[in-house]
A and B are shown apart, each in its own frame.
Chain A
């Protein structure tokens, strides 16, 4: 039990809760706009960012942010063309992941723990990481709150948004850039492979419980934070891997809410 109260555990809990809180509203928009693939493409691109940062001896955060931003812009440009993008996104996601893994193996003199980047290493989060994560959380939540109605109307119907004097393209870009930022600062917590899950699962789990968009985001935040804390507790008590435990609990929440919802009908 004392493990649960160790300082590294407290840092892990704060880091994971922060990521879950920031991921919930973005995840809701990803679900509403059917953009799950975009999340994958951007998060898998993070591996390429890791490789480039190590090769250039830069902090990993900046390398990942640079690559995910470029990917987000490229993807936004493609989406604006009306090209059927799912195939291209699949290529971008797995191409960037594979290229990143190959590139990492060629970085001379560096032995890195690949697993830590693919699945996160939340128990190793330090004080500086924590400050970075919460700065990112504040920035993302502020951004979503500021653009809320514009983002929402663009998700409801792009033509209506245009007729109201908004630019759905700009709102889509805002969302892409926010996703890139989220991936960069949560890489250490959940890793490149599971960020998409933490984005989508809490929002999807919240859907049957919500009658309005704001409520859906709030419930998703609660489910995300509970999964984060529960997953960490599981990791500490049963020695399971932390990030997969968090995602497993979020999956369980999804099954529960949707199961109950289909029983009620």
Chain B
């Protein structure tokens, strides 16, 4: 059973092809993370899934009646609009004070009801956005760079909260992130995106995939070192997609790959 299945999804923004032939499926209760460099179409993919940008090709199948919750990277809120947290949580449907307090507590934003949305810190805003998404009792929660601007302990804390949430509610989580090592440890599956799906699989498989190394190899030595030490080196290679990459993102591929197997 799948909550969501995407096949051959392509998206163009302003005449530029941002996503090309993306395949993706989410099962109930799993945490899937999309990683990829800036401009790789991660946010666009989430926006396509909620219907905010049209698909140029491909299909998005949702389980009928699927409840999705969306936590954007930031709000487009203008400072001329005065809005307390409790006003915000009442959109688009008013909720009872009890429901509101429960959602805020669950998201770690308890007691913020009377604060102005525009005056919240980055982390507080993220938790309020999460609380609003939880009010819809989502079966699938979409998080876009939810920890941007948070320091590392705060980000790790946020991911633990997400994991606890999944364990308690059984909701599936699809999130976009660039904090590779934190994300890697909190995810059931990782999808490496760069306009198309470069590689996908369990975190340790993706971390050692040459496609992933080509994208992140040089910049994330620490994260990869972590995996080199913590995981055995008997990699399965059938998850490497053999399709040709039309983007010139593979530079030192083989170096990195061999380097990893060196003692």
Contacts and interface: CB of A to CB of B under 8 A. Distances in A.
Interface residues of A, number: 29
A150 interface: yes
Interface stretch (A16-24, A66-74, A203-211): A203-211
B136 to A, nearest CB: 8
B76 A207 contact: no
A165 B50 CA distance: 9
Nearest to A81: B14
A160 B87 contact: no
Given A204-B80, A211-B82, A161 B75 contact: no
A56 interface: no
Interface stretch (B89-97, B171-179, B224-232): B89-97
A149 B72 contact: no
Interface stretch (A27-35, A96-104, A235-243): A27-35
Contact of B92 (A82, A153, A159, A216): A153
A213 B14 contact: no
B92 A156 contact: no
Contact of A216 (B51, B82, B88, B94): B82
A163 B81 CA distance: 21
A3 to B, nearest CB: 38
Given A82-B14, A156-B75, A163-B50, A32 B70 contact: no
Contacts of B116: 211
B41 to A, nearest CB: 16
Chain A interface, >50% SS class:
helix
Interface in A150-199: 150, 152-153, 155-166
B197 to A, nearest CB: 23
A218 B136 CA distance: 30
Contact of A213 (B68, B81, B93, B94): B81
Given A149-B91, A159-B47, 11 more contacts: A32-B78, A32-B81, A82-B14, A155-B81, A158-B52, A159-B70, A164-B92, A164-B136, A165-B92, A204-B80, A212-B82
Identify the 3 closest CB pairs spanning chains A and B, nearest first: A163-B70, A153-B91, A32-B81
Interface of A: 31-34, 82, 149-150, 152-153, 155-166, 204, 207, 210-213, 215-216
Interface of B: 14, 47, 50-52, 68-70, 72, 75-78, 80-84, 87-88, 90-94, 116, 132, 136, 142
